[in-house]
Structures are given as C-alpha cells and as structure tokens.
Amino acid sequence: MLFKRLALAAFAAVLASGSALAQDSYPSQPITVIVPFSAGGPTDTVTRLIAQSMSTDLGQQVLVQNVGGAGGTLGAGQVAKAKPDGYTLLLHHIGMSTAPTLYRQLEFDPLKAFSPIGLVTAVPMTIVARKDFEPGNIAELIEYLKKNGADTTYANAGIGSASHLCGMLLQEAVGVEMVTVPYQGAAPAMTDVIGGQVDMLCDQTTNTTNQIKGGEVKAYAVTTPERVPSLPDLPTTKEGGLPKLDIAVWHGLYGPAGLDAAVVAKLEASLKKALKNETVKARFAELGTLPVSDDEATPAALSKELSSQIDLWRPIIQAAGTYAN
C-alpha cells in the first residue's frame, strides 16, 4: 500500500514537472490569433501590428487568421471551443460585450468561455460617406437623414460589430431607420463606400484615416468627446449636436478558458512589450489609435472592462430593440 502511494506521488511529481517544463518552453510552435473580422479592417490592422512584435519577442511566429461573420461571434466561438494550450488566441473588440445581449442564442458566455490576457487599444470612430454623398457637413447630414434616412444605405460589419453599434446610436440620435447592409468586416464595407455601392459607414479611425486624408470618402465627425490629433479638422459628434453618439472601440486579447497562469503571464508580458514597441506606437498614432497603459494590458483590467461594458450596453440594446436571433 505504502509502495503504491509512493509510486503515485512520484508519478504526480513527474507529471507536474512535465507540465512546468511544457510552460517553460512555451511557445514551442507558432501561435494563431483569430481575428473575427475580414483582413484589412481595423481589428485586423491592430492585431497584425501587435502580432509582429509578439513574434519577435516570443521567438515563434504569431499568425493571424481571419474568421469573419455574424458580427465577430463566429471567430470568437471558434476560440471558445479551442484547446487551452496557448496556441489559439482571439483579438476581439467591443463586440464581445454586446454579443450576449444582441445574440439571444449565443453559444458561449464571454465571461466564462475565455481567459482574458489584456486590453490592447481604445479607438475612436468616424462617420463617413461616399465622396459624392450630398450633405457637406454634420449639420447637413442630420437634416438630410431626417428627410431621406429610410432611403440611405448604411454599411456595417454585422450585428454587434462596432460599426453596427455606431449606426444604432446614430439612427437613435437622429430618429431614423436606415437600410443596413452587413459585411464580414469593415474592410469590404469600406471598399463599397469608396466604390459608391453603399452610402455611409461609421468605423474606427484605423480603417478611415487614410481614406479621409486621401479624399476617398467624405468625413462628418469623430465619435469621441475629444477631437483626434491625426484628424484635427474633424468635429466631434458632440460639437455637431449629437452628444449621445459617444463611442470608442476597445480591443482585448483572450485565450480559451483554462489557459495556464504561466502561459497567460508570458502572453501578458509580450503584449505589454508590443504596446511599447516604437513601430507599433508610431503606426497606432498615425491611425488615431491609443495603445493602453501597462495597468490596462492585464487580465484583471480586461475582465473588469468586459463585464462593465456588458452592463453598459445591455439597456442601450434593449431600448433599441435590435436583436440578431
């Protein structure tokens, strides 16, 4: 009996040291970060910049895979079901906090299905339109939408996407219902606004700054209380008479629930380094994006933000009465 107990203890010790070893050598193969929207869009842009720095830091390739659809819930659902070994991660945005209210049959619980690693950025949004859209400024846009909103087409990246939320707030603020055109991400939505197939879009500065500066789209306002340094001439929605249209998009990095604490700590440290990387910072600044501070690039800060944003958006969505299923 004693022998059996000793043998078991020895076996447990071997197992424990084996798993400690596995974490010591993590990562020993490429890591995939799933972006739940199309390539070339804002979430993708932020992820690829971070992934590049993390690849160098971790000594393993950090690959980005785009799994767009259903406002980000398809890609997030895939990570929720992934093996919690640190080799499948998710970089998602504010949509993680709106999905549980918008999608009544959501297959995962954002607060239980993931291991939070850290917040990544805060990104203002901008209201833009095809360049030959009639209204010349935000005041004219409001007037135009009041008369022609029902005939105006509005692109978004699916229900629960940031562009959908911004559109929902815009419609509520103006008191109209536009014709919504959903895409798998904001990149194809922007392509169609530039091509004139759809009238309007509200999206992160990461996906609109170059297009605004290059004159490919017409810009009306930025959706944060402060103007954005990279687009200093663009008024805020507050200045334009829409103070309730106040939204900034936050991104977070997650693994599936059950990630080992040592793996989370390694990824957290690497995320923090990426956010301080000079190339990442410079590119973020050009695109009007703010990397979060060290205190926010933590599992605790992301957990807190996620649950407070779920509480914040629930009544707004319920009041708007828009649901995906």
Interacting residue ranges for ligand ASP, rule: CB under 6 A: 37-38, 41-43, 93, 156-157, 161-163, 185-187, 203-204
Side-chain half-sphere CA neighbours of 289 within 13 A = 29
Task: For residue 195, report the phi and psi dihedrals to the nearest 5 degrees.
Answer: -75, -10
Strand 179-182 with 153-156, pairing: parallel
DSSP sequence for 246-280: --EEEEEEEEETT--HHHHHHHHHHHHHHHH-HHH
Least distance CB 27 / ligand ASP (angstroms)? 25
From the CB of 38, what's the least distance to ligand ASP, in Å?
6
Q: What sign has the CA pseudo-torsion 94, 190, 218, 285?
A: positive
H/E stretch holding 106 reads none
| Closest-approach residue to ligand ASP (CB) | 41
| Nearest residue (CB) to ligand ASP, 115 versus 289 | 289
Report the residue number, 166 or 259, with the smaller CB distance to ligand ASP.
166
Measured from the CB atom, is 58 or 201 closer to ligand ASP?
201
Task: Write the secondary structure of 272-325 as one string of H (helix), E (strand) and C (coil).
Answer: HHHHHCHHHHHHHHHCCCEECCCCCCCHHHHHHHHHHHHHHHHHHHHHHCCCCC
- CA dist list (Å): 16 to 8, 20, 29, 84, 266: 12, 6, 21, 17, 19
User: Which is nearer to ligand ASP, 289 or 298 (by Cβ)?
Assistant: 289
CB nearer to ligand ASP: pick between 27 and 42: 42
Min separation Cβ 180 and ligand ASP, Å: 12
Minimum distance between the CB of residue 250 and ligand ASP, rounded to whole angstroms?
Answer: 12
Residue type, 243: P
User: What does the DSSP 8-state code read for residue 150?
Assistant: G
Do residues 135 and 217 make contact, with C-beta atoms less than 8 angstroms apart? Answer: no
Q: Which is nearer to ligand ASP, 26 or 103 (CB)?
A: 103
Per-residue tokens: 84? 């919690």
Residue 156 C-beta: closest distance to ligand ASP, Å: 6
If the CB atoms of residues 201 and 292 are measured against ligand ASP, the closer one turns out to be 201
We find the least distance from the C-beta atom of residue 162 to ligand ASP, in angstroms, to be 3
CB-side exposure of 244: number of CA atoms within 13 Å?
11
Residue 31 Cβ, how far from ligand ASP at the closest point, in Å? 20
In the complex, what is the shortest distance from the CB of residue 29 to ligand ASP, in angstroms, rounded to a whole number? 27
CB nearer ligand ASP, residue 184 or residue 277? 184
